[in-house]
Amino acid sequence: MPVRRHESVAFTVVVCVIAALAAIPIAIVMALSGEPQALVFGALFALVPVGPVLACYMWLDRYEPEPRALLTAGLMWGAFVATLLALVVQGLGGFVGGITDSTMLAVVAPFSEEATKGLFLVLLLIWRRQEFDGVLDGIVYAGVIGIGFAFTENILYLAAAYNGTDGSNPGGFSGLGVLFVLRCIASPFAHPLFTAFTGIGIGIAISQRSTLVRILAPIVGYLCAVALHAAWNGSTLLADGAGFIIVYVIVMIPVFLMFVGVAIWVRTRERRLLSVALRDAAQRGLIPADDIEHIVDLRARRQARQHARQYGGRAGHHAMHEYQQAAVELGYLHHRVLRGTAPSNFAERGQRFVETMHINRPRIAFPQVAASGGRHL
């Protein structure tokens, strides 16, 4: 079965349709937020941090790349669905509940925005649970959701700053520039960082056997996301805005550095985890032991694909990619089997990965095989 993953097309389609429908009212909100010129400038400036921040999360995702369709769906969810739902909740709170602006900013916004962003993770957990293998997956999915959310929110804020309607600057490029530095240069990771705690909580829950931990971890993760978000928003209300700098220095920077350390540690741990699982799988006859180095080492993995393309063209490269990806999936699934946290359909999924490997293995030769005079593609 030459498939990269057993993907549920329905999930991706449904999410994308919901996101497309949500994009309509978001576009209307943007159109009512200012003149077209302001929106264009806002969108262009808001786009600047998207590429670099997204690249960081793609680097984290290299060991077991998540389906691009799902990552795109997460990005769209954050940009349109989560933003729209948060606007609706906050709008109802302001117009119906009579909530003050300061309470809205420091309390309602953190709870509602982290809930609407985290909802995608919950849906993914329920509908596509096989895509969650642990903490790193939670960080990556949360990251792309946060990037999408921040992009749309930044457009609205930057357009308001250009128009001078946010009440804090004279407008024009000077006002837009100040806000651009604060939101897009000094804190582009804010929303991805907040939501990452929810993703970490879900990732911990997936990898644990304790029922209590599986219930509490996502809740604690969400509350941590809300608390950090509330501290960030609430800091702008302290000491005429000076509290923002204080919280940024003593809270946000240390938390961000801690998060970077945890993310790098988790990513580094992936190789060891995958290697141990695949070596156990090799002892059970599921994969040749000599192939493992070309699965767990990213450089060797890349060299194997280049070798396959050199000797087998696009077909050879595709066969190597399918083989390596199925082996990676088998390794992570086998790790969960060894830990006792495997999904109920682990046997069926494992058999699909093994079949994919067996179909593609005769079509490929790894670099050291060819060097020793073995079979070429």
Could you tell me the residue ranges of all domains in the chain?
9-237, 273-371
3-state secondary structure of 63: coil
Tokens describing residue 370: 């060819």
- Closest among 144, 257, 132, 135 to 195, alpha carbons compared: 144
Q: Is 238 left (phi over 0), alpha (psi -120 to 50) or beta?
A: beta
What amino acid is encoded at 87 in this protein?
L
pLDDT of amino acid 238:
86
Please state, as a whole number, how many other Cβ atoms lie within 10 Å of the Cβ of residue 5.
20
Residue with tokens 């682990």: 346
Q: How far apart are CA 200 and CA 192, in angstroms?
A: 12
**pLDDT of the residue at 307:** 92
Letter for the amino acid at 71?
A: L
Measured CA to CA, the distance from residue 41 to residue 301 in angstroms comes to 42
Asked if residues 205 and 82 have their Cβ atoms less than 8 Å apart, the reply is no
Rounded to a whole number of angstroms, the distance between the first and last alpha carbons of the chain is 20
Place of tokens 């909580």: 201
Residue 169: per-residue pLDDT: 64
Mean pLDDT by 10 residues, the chain (377 residues): 49 80 86 81 93 93 86 94 93 78 92 97 86 88 96 92 72 86 93 96 89 94 97 88 87 93 89 93 94 92 92 91 94 90 86 94 77 39
In contact, 289 and 282? CB cutoff 8 Å: yes
What is the reported pLDDT for 368? Answer: 66
Note the pTM of the prediction, 2 decimals.
0.88
Q: Looking at residue 132, what is its pLDDT?
A: 81
Question: 199 with 221: CB under 8 angstroms?
Answer: yes
DSSP H helices, the chain, are 9-33, 36-47, 50-60, 68-76, 83-95, 101-103, 109-127, 135-163, 172-180, 190-206, 211-234, 242-247, 253-283, 293-296, 298-339, 346-360, 367-371
Q: What's residue 306's pLDDT?
A: 92
What are 340's two structure tokens? 């006792």
Q: What sign for the dihedral angle of Cα 42, 48, 49, 51?
A: positive
Name which of 50, 40, 23, 26 is nearest 163 in CA terms. Answer: 40
pLDDT of residue 326: 94
